């Protein structure tokens, strides 16, 4: 067993998240130059795009999109800012968007307005000739950053040494790098999303009695609890400690090994916020995302993916009140699409996903202008070997009900 010491203690995106959470400013886009002042890392691009006003950018994107026509398809994750998502041909969560990437062979270029692991997934699932573009290469995901492939391989080696070959089913949340999806595909495992984690757990437990779940401990724990797995049958794997911080006995007894990762946005929600919402209005319904902690999930009335959250509120009776535990850009959008209901974010401090927020309209204009000139910028390409095994894990996911 190798004990490594050269690890980055906190992913940079985790630190940057706090820069946004300390502000109560409106989230309307400014020029990119002004947004640079927030002190976060962004990909550099020609200075003219940095000074272009939001209104001019809107016109530029609109014109470029019209000229490029069916050559491009723009996919937009629900957490994208309004000024970007308005241009998406398809809006959705990572599951819905990955299905569209797999089912849309006609577009020559897929512009993915989301984060890096989503663009990688689109590249894996789309035809080999199609090119996937991520407008800003620094749009990552702090949760995905918490599971580096080298650390996961160390963990896998330890588990194999302690438990023997083929004794653990690896399962990774979509929010992980292609390298980790590939490890799952190569070792009899599967990918899941927050929409199908329950079915993916059933799939895995039909094939083995131990699961390694990466990288979101909360989605893994919340789902396992609904499957009857007891909390004392779960351990957390801390990549900074030998054997993940567990004894050999604990590893042997565990049914579920949870990677120590979390979402910086969804772990901000607390039961105190829920209690406060209920004190203000006893009729309020609380709906949260399963990346929230177990106590929050157990305290909520409803739990589900972003698609589920959208749907349950869209279909609710007029006059109802909804306290929502998910990313603020989506909550604001649901609120404006449901003016007959009271929809609010449980966290009163404005806190967008800082990495999703990096897709500023200036980047979208830049990559589209590049395509008009025949230049492909920011293409995301997964290497052949990684693609092959990731595809196996993703196809297993797409095949389950
Ligand atoms: S909301 Fe959380 S899991 Fe989703 S992209 Fe942002 S940091 Fe990652």
List the residue whose alpha carbon is closest to atom 2 of ligand 1: 263
- Quote the ligand 1 centre to 13 CA distance (angstroms): 10
Q: Decide: 393 in ligand 1 pocket, CB within 6 A.
A: no
- Amino acid 26: pLDDT: 58
- Amino acid 272: pLDDT: 97
**Among residues 196, 221, 236, which one has the least CA distance to residue 399?**
196
The 10s digit of each residue's pLDDT in 300-354 is 999 999 999 999 999 999 999 999 999 988 999 999 999 999 999 999 776 678 8
CATH class of 266-345: alpha beta
List the residue whose alpha carbon is closest to atom 5 of ligand 1: 141
The 10s digit of each residue's pLDDT in 194-226 is 999 999 999 999 999 999 999 999 999 999 999
Q: Decide: 327 in ligand 1 pocket, CB within 6 A.
A: yes
- Amino acid 352: pLDDT: 77
- Amino acid 240: pLDDT: 95
The model's pTM is 0.89
- Quote the ligand 1 centre to 163 CA distance (angstroms): 32
- Amino acid 351: pLDDT: 66
CA distance linking residue 153 with residue 141, whole number of Å:
20
Q: Decide: 394 in ligand 1 pocket, CB within 6 A.
A: no
The 10s digit of each residue's pLDDT in 10-57 is 344 544 444 445 444 556 778 877 777 766 567 888 989 989 999 999
Q: Decide: 93 in ligand 1 pocket, CB within 6 A.
A: no
Q: Where in the chain is the domain with CATH 3.40.50.10800?
A: 12-17+30-142+355-382, 266-345
Q: Which of 113, 141, 146, 261 to mutate to test the pocket of ligand 1 (most atoms within 8 A of CB)?
A: 141
Is residue 104's pLDDT more than 90? no
- Amino acid 25: pLDDT: 52
Atom of ligand 1 nearest to the CA of 354: 6
The 10s digit of each residue's pLDDT in 363-385 is 999 999 999 999 999 999 999 99
Q: Say if residues 298 and 222 touch (Cβ distance below 8 Å).
A: no
Per CATH, the number for 12-17+30-142+355-382 is: 3.40.50.10800
């Amino acid at each position: 067993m190798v004990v490594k010491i050269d690890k980055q203690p906190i992913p940079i995106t985790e630190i940057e998240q706090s820069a946004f959470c300390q502000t109560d400013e409106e989230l309307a886009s400014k020029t990119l130059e002004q947004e640079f002042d927030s002190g976060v890392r962004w990909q550099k691009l020609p200075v003219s795009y940095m000074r272009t006003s939001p209104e001019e950018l809107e016109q530029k994107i609109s014109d470029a999109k019209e000229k490029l026509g069916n050559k491009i398809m723009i996919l937009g994750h629900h957490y994208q800012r309004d000024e970007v998502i308005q241009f998406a041909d398809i809006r959705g969560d990572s599951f819905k968007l990955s299905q569209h990437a797999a089912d849309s062979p006609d577009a020559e270029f897929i512009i993915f307005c989301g984060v890096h692991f989503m663009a990688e997934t689109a590249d894996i699932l789309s035809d080999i000739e199609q090119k996937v573009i991520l407008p800003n290469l620094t749009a990552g995901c702090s949760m995905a950053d918490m599971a580096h492939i080298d650390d996961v391989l160390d963990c896998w080696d330890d588990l194999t040494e302690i438990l023997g070959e083929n004794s653990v089913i690896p399962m990774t949340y979509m929010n992980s790098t292609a390298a980790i999806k590939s490890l799952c595909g190569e070792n009899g495992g599967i990918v899941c999303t927050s929409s199908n984690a329950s079915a993916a757990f059933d799939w895995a437990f039909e094939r083995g009695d131990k699961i390694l779940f990466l990288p979101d401990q909360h989605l893994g724990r919340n789902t396992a609890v609904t499957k009857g797995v007891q909390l004392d049958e779960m351990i957390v794997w801390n990549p900074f400690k030998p054997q993940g911080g567990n004894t050999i006995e604990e590893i042997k007894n565990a049914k579920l090994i949870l990677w120590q990762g979390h979402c910086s946005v969804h772990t901000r929600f607390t039961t105190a916020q829920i209690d406060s919402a209920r004190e203000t209005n006893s009729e309020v319904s609380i709906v949260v995302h399963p990346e929230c902690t177990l106590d929050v999930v157990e305290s909520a009335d409803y739990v589900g993916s972003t698609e589920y959250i959208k749907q349950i509120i869209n279909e609710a009776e007029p006059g109802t009140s909804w306290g929502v535990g998910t990313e603020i850009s989506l909550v604001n959008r649901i609120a404006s699409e449901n003016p007959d209901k009271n929809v609010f974010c449980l966290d009163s401090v404005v806190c967008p996903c800082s990495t999703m927020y990096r897709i500023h309209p200036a980047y979208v204009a830049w990559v589209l202008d590049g395509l008009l000139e025949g230049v492909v910028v920011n293409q995301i390409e997964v290497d052949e070997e990684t693609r092959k095994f990731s595809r196996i894990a993703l196809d297993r996911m797409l095949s389950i009900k």
